Amino acid sequence: MTAAPTTVSDGVVVAIHYTLKNDAGETLDSSSGGDPLEYLHGAGNIVPGLENALAGKKLGEQLKVTVAPADAYGERDPRGVQKVPRNSFPPGVDLQPGMAFLADGPDGEPVQVWISALEADRVVIDLNHPLAGVTLHFEVQISALRPATAEEIEHGHPHGPDGHGGHEHHGHEH
């Protein structure tokens, strides 16, 4: 057995409590009151700027990290906004602004797009992540560290305390 890791490094499953704010100080997301977020360090599960800042940090350590868009969700590309007919969506789907879904990219590969607005017979979609162009201000505390299992390393993400918790949404086979 590998000894429990004491610092954040590649191949370690890191549990963090975090609060994410924008430049205006508005809270965009937080793990407060819930379970910490688990991620596999070195696997790109979280934005690069935050992952880089956590490298080498110790269990229990608290840090404040400001991440520029280039190291988070990228700059906004105005060409990413498009209007498509509402009937290009499956009937019966209750479309709402903020919804994310997968569409076919230029080479047929799945790309994630977000609904940014609804018009009478058209849907405004945005290929930009909702946080593109936003500078992210994180307050993070490292609440747990453990070695990743071989399966987690292979998959590139943690599997949770019961071995497969929260896994279904990844949409891949075991």
Is the CB of 104 or the CB of 154 nearer to Zn ion? 154
The answer to whether the beta carbons of residues 142 and 13 sit under 8 Å apart is no
Closest residue to Zn ion in the complex (CB): 155
Number of residues that bind Zn ion (CB under 5 A): 1
Binding mask 31-50 for Zn ion (x = CB under 5 A): --------------------
Is the CB of 69 or the CB of 158 nearer to Zn ion? 158
103 phi and psi, to 5 degrees? Answer: -125, 170
Pair of tokens at residue 46 = 């979280």
Is the CB of 79 or the CB of 172 nearer to Zn ion? 172
Least distance between Zn ion and beta carbon 130 (Å) = 25
Q: Does 155 bind Zn ion (CB under 5 A)?
A: yes
Is the CB of 76 or the CB of 155 nearer to Zn ion? 155
Print the SS3 string covering the chain: CCCCCCECCCCEEEEEEEEEECCCCCEEEECCCCCCEEEECCCCCCCHHHHHHHCCCECCCEEEEEECHHHCCCCCCHHHEEEEEHHHCCCCCCCCCCCEEEEECCCCCEEEEEEEEECCCEEEEECCCCCCCCCEEEEEEEEEEEECCHHHHHHCCCCCCCCCCCCHHHCCCC
Binding mask 99-138 for Zn ion (x = CB under 5 A): ----------------------------------------
Select from 51-59, 63-71, 115-123, 147-155 the region that touches Zn ion (CB under 5 A).
Answer: 147-155
Select from 46-54, 84-92, 136-144, 150-158 the region that touches Zn ion (CB under 5 A).
Answer: 150-158
- Tokens 């400001």 correspond to 66
Q: Give the whole-angstrom CA distance, residue 68 versus residue 66.
A: 7
Select from 81-89, 100-108, 129-137, 149-157 the region that touches Zn ion (CB under 5 A).
Answer: 149-157
Least distance between Zn ion and beta carbon 121 (Å) = 40
Residues contributing to the site for Zn ion (CB under 5 A)? 155
